[in-house]
Amino acid sequence: MNKSVFSIFLISTIIFLSCQKEEILEPFDYPGLLANSVERVEIFDDGTILTLSNEGIFFKRPMSSGNTFRENNFQLSSYDAYRMRFFLTESGKIYGVNNQYVMVIDNGGFNFYTQNVLTLNGYLSSAGFGLTPDDKLLRLDYSTEKYDSASNSYVYHLRISEWENEKWYSEETEIISALSSTDKTPSIVFDNNTAYIVTTKIYEADFDEIYNLDPEELVPVNSAYDIVMNELRFYNKTIMGFGQSVNPFDSYPRNIYSSSSVSITSGRFSSEDFSNCADSDFGLSVDDFIGYHEENSIFFQEESYNWFSSNNTRGDLVFFDMLKGKCESQSILAINDFDDGSLSINDVSMDFKSDILYLATNSGLYMYDLSTNLPTRYLDYLIDEGKDE
């Protein structure tokens, strides 16, 4: 090769190499954040999975490749995301809500919007949230103080707000509460277009929009006390919920002390304390609400790892059959990767169709098969799933 030919070859090689774009590839575009510390996990009824960590957000709908969103200096604690409750719409949009922010996630990314929940005489009203049958996001909290001449006292009207165009539109209702009751989280659930609203009492109303509601109080036949029920579900003519001691300033809400239900047909109120759960050592409360499946409300209680024991468990699932008043539990065994005292569980969710428990840990996201008691790294599962396609 003469000198001129070699020069042309060398220049062409340099130009070609300089046009190369360096890429760091991750298996099937799935992020390493699933193998690192995961703070929140949510499995929705249709199988959609959502995870949040300080590295970013991952969500995957059934039969899709999944989406990953990263943001520099993203911190869950900055948005109080540990306290968020999540809702999935038919269109695939996800709402995350707490007292400070509304989070909106879709295929284009995610955004946080600041919201203000009223502070009543120094007390922060803990807002409740719900989704209407046509996928409108609702917020329930209390209005400003008003004097009621009939009772010669100050009262607070329940306020219902609807999220639209990145802001809340609000309407006061005729449901009133005393200041001592405004620290209880109001809740709403739907049976078609009938709304059931729980403050410390239960109300029923035909629901078309938030304006001009005409709520009617339902009186449970066997309850002489205030009713406290959170994150409601309507099943088989029964309102289901749970009792929880909530401090709006806590970074992570726990202290779930009972599972409750009200029959719409008979008016019977039932509440079962965890301390009465058969064959359990849960004490007075458990940490996490997982969800509802048929007549069961399901909770999780993490157990401390004992380095000197050969029979460790990582926690217990608690199943409350509210229609039968029956309680059962299933232990999550400390085997394979779970037999490690340095592993800690940050959050838990469940896919009821496949009987798989999802655990967000400081070592990544895990799937725990309740039929075999075997844990699997979720990232390994995705890689295997990609090989089969």
Q: Which residues touch 94 (CB under 8 Å, ≥6 apart)?
A: 48, 50, 59, 86, 87, 88, 103, 104, 105, 106
Query: Tell me, what's the pLDDT at 308?
Result: 60
User: 291 vs 258, which has greater pLDDT?
Assistant: 291
* One-character DSSP codes across 297-344: EEEEEE----TT-SS-EEEEEEEEETTTTEEEEEEEE--GGGS-TT--
Q: Which residues touch 25 (CB under 8 Å, ≥6 apart)?
A: none
Query: Tell me, what's the pLDDT at 248?
Result: 53
Spatial distance between the Cα atoms of 133 and 198, rounded to a whole number of angstroms: 18
Return the percentage of the chain with pLDDT > 70, whole number.
79
Unique residue bearing structure tokens 């301390």: 275
**Stretch among 157-166, 190-199, 211-220, 309-318 having the lowest mean pLDDT:** 309-318
- Side-chain half-sphere exposure of 237, counting CA atoms within 13 A: 6
Query: Tell me, what's the pLDDT at 102?
Result: 94
Number of continuous H segments (helices) and E segments (strands) in the chain: 2, 31
231, 246, 301, 327, 335 from 253: Cα distances, Å: 13, 6, 13, 23, 28
For the residues 42-68, what does the mean pLDDT come to?
89
Over the Cα atoms of the chain, what is R_g? Answer: 25
* Residue 196 pLDDT > 50: yes
pLDDT, one tens digit per residue, over 72-108 is 666 777 787 777 899 999 999 999 998 889 999 988 8
Tokens of 340: 């490690």
User: 22 vs 335, which has greater pLDDT?
Assistant: 335
Query: Tell me, what's the pLDDT at 229?
Result: 86
For the residues 365-374, what does the mean pLDDT come to?
94
User: 27 vs 243, which has greater pLDDT?
Assistant: 243
* Residue 384 pLDDT > 50: yes
Q: Which of 69-83, 91-105, 261-275, 328-342 ranks highest by mean pLDDT?
A: 91-105
Query: Tell me, what's the pLDDT at 29?
Result: 47
Output the average pLDDT for the chain: 80
For the residues 336-357, what does the mean pLDDT come to?
90
